[in-house]
Amino acid sequence: MYGERVARWERAVEWPLMIAAILFLLAYAVKIIYQPTGAVDAASEVVLWATWALFALDYIVRLTITEQRWRWFYRHLLDLAIVVLPMLRPLRLMRFLTVLALLNRGAGNRLRGKVTIYTIGGTIVLILMAGLAVLDAERGGPGPIEDIGDAVWWAFVTITTVGYGDYVPVTDIGRIVAVALMIGGIALIGVVTATVASWIVERVADEEHKKAAATEDQVERLRDEIAELKSMIRELKPAA
Amino acid sequence: MYGERVARWERAVEWPLMIAAILFLLAYAVKIIYQPTGAVDAASEVVLWATWALFALDYIVRLTITEQRWRWFYRHLLDLAIVVLPMLRPLRLMRFLTVLALLNRGAGNRLRGKVTIYTIGGTIVLILMAGLAVLDAERGGPGPIEDIGDAVWWAFVTITTVGYGDYVPVTDIGRIVAVALMIGGIALIGVVTATVASWIVERVADEEHKKAAATEDQVERLRDEIAELKSMIRELKPAA
Amino acid sequence: MYGERVARWERAVEWPLMIAAILFLLAYAVKIIYQPTGAVDAASEVVLWATWALFALDYIVRLTITEQRWRWFYRHLLDLAIVVLPMLRPLRLMRFLTVLALLNRGAGNRLRGKVTIYTIGGTIVLILMAGLAVLDAERGGPGPIEDIGDAVWWAFVTITTVGYGDYVPVTDIGRIVAVALMIGGIALIGVVTATVASWIVERVADEEHKKAAATEDQVERLRDEIAELKSMIRELKPAA
Amino acid sequence: MYGERVARWERAVEWPLMIAAILFLLAYAVKIIYQPTGAVDAASEVVLWATWALFALDYIVRLTITEQRWRWFYRHLLDLAIVVLPMLRPLRLMRFLTVLALLNRGAGNRLRGKVTIYTIGGTIVLILMAGLAVLDAERGGPGPIEDIGDAVWWAFVTITTVGYGDYVPVTDIGRIVAVALMIGGIALIGVVTATVASWIVERVADEEHKKAAATEDQVERLRDEIAELKSMIRELKPAA
């Protein structure tokens, strides 16, 4: 929609950005889980800033080479947010998951295949990121979440809306992360259900309507035949 | 349906009522969170009563100028409830959220856009109101909910059906508010899922049926052609 | 399907059975909540047995007057269960809720109206019955559920899948009741979501397809016209 | 798709494998619940290994007699997993539940009937297996789950996403089992909702569209008639 140059650029940077996103996640995880000092800490910081710079650069390039700049800007506010809010950056990982979509062949399954991949990928990244963020916020505080195992376990319990209550965040940032996870959980239930429902509705329809509905094409061809009929009768007339 | 005069009135009072609803919410929040005395308390009371009077007036005017009074009355029992039960009044906010619907263009998205806006707006207002109401009921009692932060956190945990159990209402009014929130949560899951399902079903259908179904219009045009054919043959007959 | 006599009988006993079901619920509630002795206890017992006898009689009459007895028997195994398992009997209440369906007019809304009424009615009866049953099982035991308020509150928390964990059954019977409620909760979410989804899908379809699909009727009428055409040409032939 | 020989083999071993799966479940349950020693333990081990050998044999035979070996291999990776990961083996039980599908007659209900049976059967087996696995992991540890009753109760509370928090696993294996159950719970809600939605959407459509859409067949027959018309006129022409 925004010119072929953007599409070509996006294809070119797909893999570099995916690797950058994974490096970002790893550096973030190292920083939070091991709380390193000295060289390791400095290296993590370098990776975090370098990957951020890459995503910012990608945003600026795309904004520059697109044909309809303002329209692109308004339709890619989330991309801007991803550059501005470093915490959201790993969501970028999602875009590259589409390569897995190659496994999903067949017309009707295409959209559902994509939705399934985005949902699984998005849920995993959301759980990992929320686990890291809540560990960062809660560790050393009055709450029970003190290591990464507890944090990821808490994230699973929350996103599935089970909510045992054995681990609960007590800090403000921890609670904000929890609310994001809960909203993710509601969305997760929604998407899973909707995908299954779409599949069932379609399969039931296939079972029942062996007799397909008449198509516009068919009726058009019928009309051509009648037009031919008319011209045949027109020829007949002077002869009579 | 109930005459153009009502529609014109509703458009005219849209913004004044929206502002009144926000003032009501703020005054209610101030009263409950800060438990003011003296001048601030009196001011809150004035705002609460003035906004209530505005909504009551709006109801009476609409009932007066409508053409089919009884039918309007039966179809707007919720509006009556909103005037009679002051606590429900902020639900009015919802109607004005439709202005945001301008952002949602395109035929099929219109209904879903509206549903999305009402759902998000309604959920936020429900969480805020339930938080305030439960704080009012539980503060100073044997339960753990003692400040607005805890109350809103509890409302999020409840409406998403996570239910950690770290904060639980123990008074009768608190429990009634909780039941309303739980029902809201079930409805929330239902609406989110249904909206996503509708979107997926439609997109899958678009992918598959490039060949559109024959329409009534097409067949009607076919019939016209055949009628023409007939008259041509009728002309032919006497000539023979 | 099973003869008009059964339909007439069912219409005739609709209200008496509804009243019997309400009396049964009341007597059951009195017995469990107040644990009466002496005359009140005896009266409750009489009501419980009398209403049970009524339902058993209704079952026998319907089985006797139906035309296809075995088929009716197999298709009404739930009715047999309701007579044999006295605890399920209040489910009967559900059938009479259809009278409320009169409020729901319009073609497409008819099924959804019925589903809505059955869902709301069934949920309320399920919550009340589960509350009474769990109170009966847990009172005086090691668990925290000791009065009807706690029991109904627990039932709401369970059926909405919130599950705070402030009240949890600890006896075997209490846990079986809880599992029934949880299954009811999953079904409740399913039915609410499905009803909303059906409504949204239909409304979106209405918005989009102003142009209706060609019907079988239309095409049949087209065929009649062509048949007429043929006979006109056949007349033409000998004349030439 | 993979040749008739495989289909015949699968029909032949259906019942033997179903019995083997039940024996496996029983031996597994005996081993975990009663923690037997001596002869009983040895017998359980023999049953576990013998049933495993049967499933491995079935896999090898099917892989050998299929026509398109590689394609079959890729499409049956789950079967390989079931043979390699003994814990998943009871999922095999699911395939045999299709015999119950005989009870579900009628076109549109066929798929939904199958989905319902697989869902109920899969949920029961999942709850039992998860209960046994969590009991095996948690018993004797710091967590509260100490007998099979608690474990199955916990499994129900988890799969329905209620999550009271009265019993929570604390070991790593216990938590992995819990996460599998939670994912099963999300899937359960999705499938229940989707099945109900499919049923409601279909029933509402039945209520509304008494007038069926024109079919391809109908239009084809119309075309034949017009072709006949043409040949009649062609005959007419030389006569004129």
Whether the CB of C227 is below 8 Å from some CB of chain B: the reply is no
The DSSP output letter for B167 is S
Domain ranges of chain A: 1-92, 104-212
Which residues of chain D have a CB within 8 Å of the CB of A211?
A: 215-217
Residue B195 clears pLDDT 50, i.e. is over it: yes
- pLDDT above 90 covers what percent of chain C? 19
Q: What is the pLDDT of residues C201-230, one digit of tens each?
A: 777 776 665 445 566 666 777 777 777 777
Residue C92 clears pLDDT 80, i.e. is over it: no
**What are residue C215's DSSP bridge partners?**
D213
Residues C131, C121: Cα–Cα separation, whole Å: 15
Q: Among D161, D197, D213, whose Cβ lies nearest the Cβ of B213?
A: D213
Answer whether C183 sits within 8 Å of D197, measured CB to CB. Answer: no
Q: Give the minimum alpha-carbon distance from D111 to chain C in angstroms, rounded to a whole number.
A: 17
Question: By mean pLDDT, which of A199-208, B66-75, C177-186 is the weakest?
Answer: A199-208
Q: Among D191, D229, D240, whose Cβ lies nearest the Cβ of A236?
A: D240
Q: How confident is the model at residue B161 (pLDDT cuts 50, 70, 90)?
A: very high
Three-state DSSP at D126 gives helix
Task: Please tell me the predicted confidence (pLDDT) of residue D88.
Answer: 55
Q: What is the pLDDT of residues A98-120, one digit of tens each?
A: 444 333 333 345 677 777 877 88
- pLDDT above 70 covers what percent of chain C? 79
CATH classification number, A104-212, choose in 1.10.287.70, 1.20.840.10, 3.40.50.10680, 1.10.10.10: 1.10.287.70
Cα nearest neighbour of D192 on chain A: A193
Task: Please tell me the predicted confidence (pLDDT) of residue C240.
Answer: 46
Task: Please tell me the predicted confidence (pLDDT) of residue C207.
Answer: 64
Tokens in use for C47?
A: 């009501």
Residue A85 clears pLDDT 70, i.e. is over it: no
Whether the CB of A199 is below 8 Å from some CB of chain C: the reply is no
Q: In this structure, are residues D97 and D121 in contact, taking their beta carbons and an 8 Å threshold?
A: yes
Global ipTM: 0.76
Highest mean pLDDT out of A16-20, B4-8, D112-116, D123-127 = D123-127
Whether the CB of C212 is below 8 Å from some CB of chain A: the reply is no
Which residues of chain B have a CB within 8 Å of the CB of C203?
A: 111
Mean pLDDT of B136-160: 92
Three-class DSSP labels, D135-190 = HHHHCCCCCCCCCHHHHHHHHHHHHCCCCCCCCCCCCHHHHHHHHHHHHHHHHHHH
Q: In this structure, are residues B65 and B167 in contact, taking their beta carbons and an 8 Å threshold?
A: no
Phi, psi of B117 (to 5 degrees): -65, -45
Per the prediction, chain B carries an average pLDDT of 78
**What are residue A215's DSSP bridge partners?**
B213
Cα nearest neighbour of D201 on chain B: B198
Per the prediction, chain C carries an average pLDDT of 78
Mean pLDDT of A34-39: 89
Mean pLDDT of C104-121: 65
Mean pLDDT of C23-27: 83
Residue D1 clears pLDDT 60, i.e. is over it: no
- Interface test mutation site (partner B, options C164, C199, C218, C226, max chain B beta carbons within 10 A): C164
Highest mean pLDDT out of A65-74, B48-57, C187-196 = C187-196
Task: Please tell me the predicted confidence (pLDDT) of residue D167.
Answer: 95
Cα nearest neighbour of A190 on chain D: D190
Q: What is the pLDDT of residues D160-207, one digit of tens each?
A: 999 999 999 999 889 998 998 999 899 899 988 888 888 887 777 766
Q: How confident is the model at residue C94 (pLDDT cuts 50, 70, 90)?
A: very low
Of residues C103 and A163, more confidence is placed in A163
Answer whether A165 sits within 8 Å of C161, measured CB to CB. Answer: no
Cα nearest neighbour of B220 on chain A: A219
- Interface test mutation site (partner B, options D188, D193, D220, D237, max chain B beta carbons within 10 A): D193
Displacement of CA C165 from its chain's centroid (Å):
29
Residues A139, B153: Cα–Cα separation, whole Å: 20
Q: Among C163, C193, C240, whose Cβ lies nearest the Cβ of A163?
A: C163
The chains found to touch C (3+ Cβ pairs under 8 angstroms) are A, B, D
Q: What is the pLDDT of residues C7-16, one digit of tens each?
A: 788 778 877 8
Count Cβ atoms below 10 Å from residue D42 Cβ, excluding itself: 11
Residues B81, D74: Cα–Cα separation, whole Å: 62
Q: Architecture of domain C104-213 in CATH? A: Orthogonal Bundle (1.10)
Q: Which amino acid is at D240?
A: A
Q: What is the pLDDT of residues D59-86, one digit of tens each?
A: 889 888 888 888 888 877 767 776 776 6
Q: Among A164, A189, A240, whose Cβ lies nearest the Cβ of D163?
A: A164
Q: In this structure, are residues D232 and B229 in contact, taking their beta carbons and an 8 Å threshold?
A: no
Residue with tokens 């062609």: D234
Mean pLDDT of C148-152: 94
Task: Please tell me the predicted confidence (pLDDT) of residue D10.
Answer: 78
Residue D3 clears pLDDT 60, i.e. is over it: yes
Task: Please tell me the predicted confidence (pLDDT) of residue A123.
Answer: 87
Residue B190 clears pLDDT 70, i.e. is over it: yes
Whether the CB of A191 is below 8 Å from some CB of chain B: the reply is yes
Cα nearest neighbour of A172 on chain B: B149
CB under 8 Å to D95, separation ≥6 — which residues? D14, D17
Answer whether D161 sits within 8 Å of B164, measured CB to CB. Answer: no
Which residues of chain C have a CB within 8 Å of the CB of A219?
A: 214
Which residues of chain B have a CB within 8 Å of the CB of A138?
A: none
Q: Which residue, among C149, C119, C118, has the nearest Cα to C131 in the 3D structure?
A: C149
Mean pLDDT of C137-166: 93
- How far lies D112's CA from each of A114, A204, D119, in Å? 24, 8, 10
Q: Which residue, among B67, C185, A226, C91, has the nearest Cα to D162 in the 3D structure?
A: C185
Interface B:C, Cβ pairs < 8 A: 126
Task: Please tell me the predicted confidence (pLDDT) of residue C169.
Answer: 95
Torsion of CA D14, D17, D19, D24, to 10 degrees: -160
Q: Among A192, A215, A232, whose Cβ lies nearest the Cβ of D186?
A: A192
Q: What is the pLDDT of residues A187-240, one digit of tens each?
A: 899 988 888 888 887 777 766 654 455 666 667 777 777 777 777 777 766 554
Residues B198, D196: Cα–Cα separation, whole Å: 15
Residue C95 clears pLDDT 70, i.e. is over it: no
Task: Please tell me the predicted confidence (pLDDT) of residue A178.
Answer: 94
Residue D152 clears pLDDT 90, i.e. is over it: yes
Quote the crossing angle between the two packed helices C148-159 and B172-208, to the nearest 10°. 20
Which residues of chain C have a CB within 8 Å of the CB of A197?
A: 197
Q: Give the minimum alpha-carbon distance from D2 to chain C in angstroms, rounded to a whole number.
A: 37
The DSSP output letter for B69 is H
Answer whether C197 sits within 8 Å of B202, measured CB to CB. Answer: no
Mean pLDDT of B201-229: 68
Q: In this structure, are residues A198 and B198 in contact, taking their beta carbons and an 8 Å threshold?
A: no
Phi, psi of B202 (to 5 degrees): -65, -45
Q: Which residue, among D44, D53, D43, D59, has the nearest Cα to D10 in the 3D structure?
A: D59
Q: How confident is the model at residue C145 (pLDDT cuts 50, 70, 90)?
A: very high
Task: Please tell me the predicted confidence (pLDDT) of residue C9.
Answer: 83
Q: How confident is the model at residue B175 (pLDDT cuts 50, 70, 90)?
A: very high
Residue with tokens 């109401």: B133
- State the burial class of residue B224 (Cβ atoms within 10 Å of its Cβ: 0-12, 13-18, 19+): exposed
- Terminal CA-CA length for chain A: 60
Per the prediction, chain D carries an average pLDDT of 78
Which residues of chain A have a CB within 8 Å of the CB of C162?
A: 163
Residue D214 clears pLDDT 70, i.e. is over it: no
Whether the CB of C211 is below 8 Å from some CB of chain D: the reply is no
Task: Please tell me the predicted confidence (pLDDT) of residue A105.
Answer: 34
- How far lies D159's CA from each of A27, C182, D89, D152, D185, in Å? 35, 10, 20, 11, 4
Q: In D, residues 161-190, which contact A (CB 8 Å cutoff)?
A: 161-165, 168, 172, 175, 178-179, 182-183, 185-187, 189-190
- How far lies D17's CA from each of D78, D101, D125, D186, in Å? 17, 18, 16, 29
Task: Please tell me the predicted confidence (pLDDT) of residue A51.
Answer: 83
Answer whether B165 sits within 8 Å of D161, measured CB to CB. Answer: no
Q: What is the pLDDT of residues C69-85, one digit of tens each?
A: 888 888 777 677 767 76
Q: What is the pLDDT of residues D98-112, one digit of tens each?
A: 444 333 333 345 677
Residues B15, B7: Cα–Cα separation, whole Å: 14
